[in-house]
Amino acid sequence: MTMVMPPDLELWICTYLRAQLADVSGLKVSNREPDDYSGSVPLIVVRDDGGSQSDRLLFDRSVGVTVRYGPRNSPKKCRDLAARVYGLLTDPSVCLVEGSPIAGISEDGCNGPYAVAEDADIARFYMVFEFSAVGTVENTEI
């Protein structure tokens, strides 16, 4: 029997962004925001919002990405990092990276980065991506 599981896009995108943004000093990339985050270092949070299975091996996935960094009244560094993240995740070559589960980018489903107003004095930008992604295939024996 062959089992197809949805890809772990959060893990893959976090790993990919860490490698591509290795030049960003102090950068943290995760699938959740630390409780004690102060805004003193750049932070990227990746969240897979799920989606449907469009084919035996393909999954339609919506992914939200938040970038936080620096004071809210001085958002330039945060916005520039968010724009760079957007560029990396909408570049068609992301589908060709070794090990990438991303098979296609739905360009009309990619939006942002948008400034997000909040109470904390930390700049925040948010963006959304829609991908077609290849599931993980496992052979199982009964």
At the second CATH level, the architecture of 2-139 is 2-Layer Sandwich (3.30)
pLDDT at 98 over 80: yes
Per residue in 82-95, pLDDT (tens digit) is 999 999 999 999 99
Burial class (CB within 10 angstroms; exposed 0-12, middle 13-18, buried 19+) of 47? middle
Beta strands in the chain (DSSP E): 2-5, 28-30, 43-48, 58-68, 102-105, 111-115, 124-134, 136-139
Residue 67 pLDDT grade (very low, low, confident, very high; cuts 50, 70, 90): very high
pLDDT at 54 over 90: no
Quote the mean pLDDT of the chain.
94
Residue 1 pLDDT grade (very low, low, confident, very high; cuts 50, 70, 90): confident
Residue 55 pLDDT grade (very low, low, confident, very high; cuts 50, 70, 90): confident
pLDDT at 140 over 80: no
The whole model's pTM is what?
A: 0.93
Residue 53 carries which DSSP code? B
